[in-house]
């Protein structure tokens, strides 16, 4: 499945134990496997409609993945249709129970809007809260902002957690020209981030639109990243650059993000089944 080009192998395990990190590495290999950014597991849950686990292409397990969550909700509903109208689907994740708001029409799902939880900023994980009209609070933006030097180049980054860590860099350089593949690994593994980090580079087009590229920890550059789109929106709003609703254009397509300045951040976008098959 894919969401804005962020692609996944989706598996519903049926009994028995598996070495999921090893399988993720094998399945996600684009030359000798299926090829994907990650492996998604749809599991039974006692507290939600289903449980999700996410393994990156390098076998590491991730806490949050917005595009993956929407893909699993779509897969779940394909197997458990609920008819028309609007309804909620609950998902158990390592970051807690999340809710996806599903909009339907004539028996077809038209939009999946997933809650990504409450964002936090800075190394201390403070609750993110914007001032009136998007004006930042000095304490929050000071805690959020850091300047690091990578390959001799200073980068101003803004630290936002959407369950997983993100370093957001707003730049005047067109993101298509930014040396993301050269600097991305160095930012991901910078000593400031003992558990590594995702890295976003962003051009602000208007208060409601940005263009971005993402270097994902454990994956490399991906065509899209849902939690990254949310981190970009939260950082931009706290800095007074963006409004509540933002379209984030990524190489694989556009994602919609809504954050009211506090509380949960919501992500919407496509979720498509590409093909089905068997792994021997």
Residue 71 in 3-state DSSP?
Answer: helix
Give catalytic status of residue 28 as yes or no. Answer: no
Query: Helices 226-238 and 66-79, interaxial angle, to 10°?
Result: 130
Burial string for 161-191 (b: 16+ CB within 10 Å, else e) reads bbbbbbbbbbeeeebeebebeebbbbbbebe
CB 25 within 8 A of CB 90: no
Give catalytic status of residue 65 as yes or no. Answer: yes
Q: Among the options 71, 219, 225, 230, which is catalytic?
A: 225
Torsions phi, psi for 204 (to 5 deg): -85, 120
Torsions phi, psi for 208 (to 5 deg): -120, 10
Torsions phi, psi for 261 (to 5 deg): 95, -10
Closest to 101 (Cα-Cα) out of 78, 118, 80, 85: 85
Q: Among the options 65, 71, 219, 230, which is catalytic?
A: 65
Give the tokens for residue 253: 């397509």
Closest to 221 (Cα-Cα) out of 196, 201, 193, 249: 201
Residues forming the active site: 65, 225
């Amino acid at each position: 499945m894919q969401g804005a080009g962020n692609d996944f192998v989706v598996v519903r395990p049926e009994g028995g134990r598996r070495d999921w990190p090893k399988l993720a590495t094998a399945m996600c290999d684009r030359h000798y496997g299926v090829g994907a950014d990650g492996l998604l597991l749809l599991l039974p849950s006692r507290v939600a409609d289903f449980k999700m686990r996410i393994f990156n292409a390098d076998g590491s397990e991730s806490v949050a993945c917005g595009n993956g969550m929407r893909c699993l909700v779509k897969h779940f509903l394909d197997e458990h249709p609920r008819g028309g109208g609007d309804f909620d689907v609950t998902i158990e994740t390592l970051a807690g129970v999340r809710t996806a708001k599903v909009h339907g029409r004539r028996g077809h799902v038209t939009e999946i809007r997933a809650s990504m939880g409450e964002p936090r900023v800075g190394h201390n994980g403070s609750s993110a809260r914007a001032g009136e009209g998007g004006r930042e609070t000095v304490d929050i933006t000071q805690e959020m902002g850091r300047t690091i030097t990578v390959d001799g180049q200073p980068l101003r980054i803004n630290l936002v957690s959407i369950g997983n860590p993100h370093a957001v860099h707003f730049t005047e350089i067109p993101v298509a020209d930014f040396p993301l593949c050269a600097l991305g690994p160095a930012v991901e593994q910078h000593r400031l981030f003992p558990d590594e980090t995702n890295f976003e580079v962003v051009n602000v087009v208007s208060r409601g639109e940005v263009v971005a590229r993402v270097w994902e920890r454990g994956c490399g550059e991906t065509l899209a990243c849902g939690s990254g789109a949310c981190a970009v929106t939260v950082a931009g709003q706290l800095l007074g650059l963006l409004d509540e609703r933002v379209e984030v254009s990524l190489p694989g397509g556009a994602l919609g993000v809504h954050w009211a300045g506090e509380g949960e951040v919501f992500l919407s976008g496509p979720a498509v089944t590409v093909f089905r098959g068997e792994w021997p």
